[in-house]
Amino acid sequence: MFEAELAVANRDSSILNGLAGATVAVSLAFLMLAITYGDLAGTKFSGVDDSEDYGVRVPVWERGYLDYITDQDNGFVMEFGEYEVLETSNEWNSTHVFVEYELPLDEGGAAPNGKISLAYWRPNVPEGVTVPVIAEFGPYFQEPSVQTPTIEVPGSWLGEMIIDQLLPHGYAFAQISVTGTGRSNHCMDLMGNAEQLGNDAAVTWLGSQDWSNGNVAMIGKSYDGSTPWQAAMFGNEHLKTIVPISGLIGVKELMWKNGSSEARAPIMHNGVYGSYGVDGDEEDYQNLCPDYIIGPGTGVGAWAWGGEAAGEYWAERYFLDRVIENYGGSVYLIQGMHDWNVDPHMAVPTMNTLIDNGIEAKGLFGQWDHDYPDRAIQLDDRSDLGGRGGEAFPEMIRFDWMQDLLEWFDYYLRGIGDKPGLWVEIQSNQGSWRIEDRYPASDTTELVMALGSDLSRISGGQTVLPDASTGPVYESAPLEETLYIQGLPRLHVEVSTTTVGGQLYALLEDCDGTNCIHIGHAIMDLRYHQGGDELSPSWAPIVGTITAKMEFFALDAEIAAGHTIRVSLVSTGEDYLPASTSSIVTIQEGEGSTLQLDTFQPDDKRYWTPPVCTHTVCL
């Protein structure tokens, strides 16, 4: 499910006291660099003079020389803050308020009297000193199903870290329950208009307090990483920066790709989140909102038709277009390239869309699953060899991430420090980190391989049956040199079908003669053969062919010399439903059916090694 259970990382906040004693020797960093990247160490890494004192605020490619804590369960800042948390009347030193706002009457439920539950923590600063606010908005605070007893308790997955490490630098922190969850009233609107309005009202409240300097940041993962996009749509003057971590730019975009539906899609609204906010009290009637009632039907309808069954349910829950139109702040976009929960197409090519529209943006894209960049145990547990992130472990662990957040927030919320580098830090599937100005990059070379010639059919016929039992498998000759691929590969396939419909799932693999590992995958309902989210205007079943313009989910891969590239075609794949219009599909081989890969030269890139992991899971 999307995030019905939280991947929380419990840890002892007292570890911070050991900051001065935790070290990683420069010699170890160079040793691990050489072991991990081989020849890359000598040709692609820009070193620094060991005799010079760089302090702690150095470019990312120089952080491997510094003494980060790398033996604990998460990352830590490198700088102590001077402030303690301001004590309050409860044991958690938090303050709870309700933020009231007006709900349109057509939202039903509690309209017009919206009420958002919000808890916050403040640093104990001198009288008259104002501070910015870092906030996490989501549905998990004070929900029994995810074991958060009350919103006044900082979340162990993110809140504790921010309070322990960033609050001492002069930041307040807030946790906010979205509509219909925790103690917030109304219904669980699943990122709809009511939820969006409540989030905007809470941002305004946080930026308007006499203890606030007026600047608010939003951060979170998964659902909590989607609320920042929602709030950014309003152009709220207080929202200066957002840090979406595996968040959604749109709800339908999470679960549908070119008309094809994930298995969870039809039940997402009420099946996964339907019980949130229902606790047996007299306010439960407020869950009878129009969108709550029609939610399940829209999911089934999108599987059947690939889009809106009726009304504007999905359009209301698409955020990126309104962010581009209205938002004036910055974006620090974080995404796991092996995230099968929130796929990387939420970040790629979103990153370039932000850049092209003048929004200051930075990307951090590593080969982890649905998690934070610095959680050693979780990243180990969820990284398996065979193309599931294992080849990039432990280099994926970013123990410098909390320091990175501090420097980001200092600049965009307090106006201090140097401007962060507005680039993309991207990790390949084999573990190497490099810098790109944008992603996908603009300096790639397209490699085109035709099915049936450059990629020979090694098994199966040209027919793809609708039960996913059979389909053709194509493979290249052994590569003469290592191939570096990035971005969004395409597979354009000429096909014919027996009916109007059908579906194709493409699996891209790296094979060494004995084993194959997952590189990427693509899926398409053939009614959407031209790509995108709209039904194709023309369709010619039986009497002719169409070209299915498939696009793979974002990937970054190194395929070694001597290995082969394999493409397998079936009717559906992991996590996806069969098409509602199942059909036998016949593949036409030749120059009209091609795999298109965007390749680059590694010698033209800046590579580096992050602080080296010394946690027990890395040894």
Q: pLDDT (tens digit, 9 = 90+) per residue, 559-578?
A: 999 999 999 999 999 888 88
Superfamily of domain 76-436: Alpha/Beta hydrolase fold, catalytic domain (3.40.50.1820)
> What is the percentage of the chain residues whose pLDDT exceeds 90?
72
Does the pLDDT at position 336 exceed 60? Answer: yes
Instruction: Write the CATH number of the domain with boundaries 445-599.
Output: 2.60.120.260
Q: What is the predicted pLDDT for the residue at 295?
A: 74
Q: Name the more confident of 292 and 437.
A: 437
Q: What is the predicted pLDDT for the residue at 280?
A: 63
Q: What is the predicted pLDDT for the residue at 536?
A: 72
From CA 109, how far away is CA 606, in angstroms rounded? 54
Q: Name the more confident of 294 and 51.
A: 294
Q: Phi and psi dihedrals of 58, rounded to 5?
A: -115, 165
Does the pLDDT at position 370 exceed 50? Answer: yes
In SS3 terms, 233-294 reads as CCCCCCEEEEEEECCCCEHHHHHEECCEEECCHHHHHHHHHCCCCCCCCCCHHHHCCHHHHH
Least confident of 63-77, 291-305, 404-418, 589-603: 291-305
Q: pLDDT (tens digit, 9 = 90+) per residue, 465-497?
A: 998 889 999 999 999 999 999 999 999 999 998
Does the pLDDT at position 520 exceed 90? Answer: yes
- To the nearest whole number, what is the mean pLDDT of the chain? 88
Does the pLDDT at position 512 exceed 90? Answer: yes
From CA 441, how far away is CA 436, in angstroms rounded? 6
pLDDT band of 270, cuts 50, 70, 90: low
Q: What is the mean pLDDT of residues 402-421?
A: 97
Q: Name the more confident of 469 and 223.
A: 223
Domain-wise residue ranges, the chain: 76-436, 445-599
Least confident of 146-155, 409-418, 454-463: 146-155
Q: Which residues pair with 293 in a beta bridge?
A: none
Q: What is the predicted pLDDT for the residue at 41?
A: 33
CB 472 within 8 A of CB 462: yes
Range picked from 148-157, 482-491, 538-547 for highest mean pLDDT: 482-491
Q: What is the predicted pLDDT for the residue at 538?
A: 55
Does the pLDDT at position 50 exceed 60? Answer: no
pLDDT band of 262, cuts 50, 70, 90: confident
Q: pLDDT (tens digit, 9 = 90+) per residue, 288-314?
A: 788 877 777 777 777 776 666 667 888
Q: What is the predicted pLDDT for the residue at 272?
A: 65
Does the pLDDT at position 38 exceed 60? Answer: no
Does the pLDDT at position 19 exceed 60? Answer: no
Does the pLDDT at position 261 exceed 60? Answer: yes
Q: What is the mean pLDDT of residues 452-466?
A: 96
Q: What is the mean pLDDT of residues 450-456?
A: 98
Does the pLDDT at position 83 exceed 70? Answer: yes
From CA 229, how far away is CA 248, in angstroms rounded? 7
Q: What is the mean pLDDT of residues 190-203?
A: 96
Q: What is the predicted pLDDT for the residue at 281?
A: 63
From CA 342, how far away is CA 365, in angstroms rounded? 13
Does the pLDDT at position 202 exceed 90? Answer: yes
Q: What is the mean pLDDT of residues 401-418?
A: 98
Q: What is the predicted pLDDT for the residue at 258?
A: 85
Task: Tell me which H or E stretch contains 419.
Answer: none
Q: For residue 54, what are its two tokens?
A: 């760089």
> What is the percentage of the chain residues whose pLDDT exceeds 70?
85
Q: Which long-range contacts (CB under 8 A, 24 or more apart) does 94-101 make?
A: 94/119, 94/120, 94/121, 94/152, 94/153, 94/154, 95/119, 95/120, 95/121, 95/122, 96/151, 96/152, 97/205, 98/183, 99/198, 99/201, 99/202, 99/205, 100/201, 101/197, 101/198, 101/201
Q: What is the predicted pLDDT for the residue at 578?
A: 87
- What distance, in Å, lies between the first and last C-alpha atoms of the chain? 32
Q: Is 445-599 the same fold as 76-436?
A: no
Q: What is the mean pLDDT of residues 497-523?
A: 93
